[in-house]
Chain A
Amino acid sequence: MGTFDLQIVTPDGLMFSGQAQSLRVRTVEGDVCILPRHINLLTALGMGEAKIVADGKARSAACIGGMLSVMDNHVKLVPTTFEWADEIDAKRAEKAKNEAEEKLSHRDRLTDQELAIAEAKLKRALVRRSVANRK
């Protein structure tokens, strides 16, 4: 099986650059799997796990927000947050999850904006936790 050129860039730097065999990410529409010679595609990313197979080894990561572009076998993944599973601090994610839940438990006292922030935090924490637990 062939490979494709994959680049993962985030505001925190270049996370991956090289040849990959497959890439599975969660988009706003659901999971997609990119294989070599995929049709040109442009989509926005959702919140979920990303799985990259490169050199026959699979690595997973928490991948949140941003976009994915496939152009002539060049794949660019531009997420807002991207953390490899082995770099996630599971304890911190757990703590963030509890804090967000705590905050949401009295949601009637929050403004819309605070509510949105707390919900986003909870979602992020859940994604991180599930990715960290799966490694």
Chain B
Amino acid sequence: MAGVSMKDIKLRIRSMESTKQITKAMEMVAASKLRRAQDNVTRSRPYFETLFDTVCEIAASSPAFTSPYLEEREVKKTCYVVIAGDRGLAGGYNHNVLKLAEAEMAGKDVTVVPIGKRCVENFRAHGFEILTDVWFEAGAVSVSDCFTMARDLCKRFLSGEFDEVNIVYTNFVSILVQQPAVMRVLPLHGTGEETDHVSETLYEPDSQELFGKIVPEYVGGLIYGALCECVASEQGARRTAMDSATKNAEEMIDDLSLKYNRARQGAITQEITEIVAGSNT
């Protein structure tokens, strides 16, 4: 009896150890990828912020001019660009962002541009209208892809295919904290402060044409920025998840080792008892 359970325990310890090795390796891979992604985020953030601030400033400071990009239409259809991960085993990362996206979409007429394998699969399975799923892998999307996507979105927005564009992504707050968020991209909205630059500012060529040129760039920049944040968040979430998985495995191994030693001790004691009992008779 004791022998069988000893063997069982030994097997379990061995399998726990190999699991631990895998999670440990994944943690280290995620950590090194995270470092690169984090650099990317810190490098692109000023761009992201300047772009956002400048366009907001223009939108706020120019109540005089109209642009289809500024116009608030009655929202019949909304487009959501949802960015999630390519792979699982990243704790709540994919789940959180998809949950937020679905909560946002509830009860609306939507079309989705999913980025990332998990995301595409999820929306396909739930029968959402998908605008395009060319951007299958979030890790493989480049800057120029973002701009192509943005031009396409702007064109469709102008033609009235949808009346609002939002990005659902995960904000990389720190290595330990990642926050899913929704950002409205189109139509543009000012910061609300009316400034008096209006009359003095020169627009070249004219405001209408200028907006036509700048807005797709702006949207592309925002998508790229969001993507950088997402990639970093995914690696961060994975690192944390794998770290705790490794710790759990260690705990279980300790626990099992203790049981194994007890079982072994029990077997020896029993043997001795048997021998003593045999020699006494």
Contact = CB atoms under 8 A, between A and B. Distances in A.
B52 to A, nearest CB: 10
Contact of A10 (B47, B58, B202): B47
Interface string B39-75: 0000110110011001001100000000000000000
A87 interface: no
A12 B202 contact: no
Contacts, number: 76
A29 B46 contact: no
Contacts of A7: 50
Given A28-B213, A67-B217, A12 B43 contact: yes
Contacts of A27: 204
Given A14-B46, A44-B210, A44-B217, 19 more contacts: A9-B51, A10-B47, A11-B43, A11-B44, A11-B143, A11-B225, A28-B205, A29-B204, A32-B204, A39-B201, A41-B201, A41-B203, A42-B201, A42-B210, A43-B204, A67-B213, A69-B57, A71-B197, A80-B217
A44 B213 contact: yes
A42 B16 CA distance: 62
Interface of A: 7, 9-14, 27-29, 32, 39-44, 65-67, 69, 71, 76, 78, 80
A43 B197 contact: no
A78 B50 contact: yes
Interface of B is mostly: helix
A11 B57 contact: no
Interface residues of B, number: 26
Contacts of B203: 41-43
Contact of B200 (A28, A32, A40, A44): A40
A9 B244 CA distance: 38
30 contacts: A9-B47, A10-B47, A11-B43, A11-B44, A11-B224, A12-B43, A12-B44, A13-B44, A13-B46, A14-B43, A14-B46, A27-B204, A32-B204, A39-B201, A40-B197, A40-B200, A41-B201, A41-B204, A42-B202, A42-B203, A42-B210, A65-B217, A67-B214, A67-B217, A69-B57, A76-B50, A78-B54, A78-B221, A80-B143, A80-B220
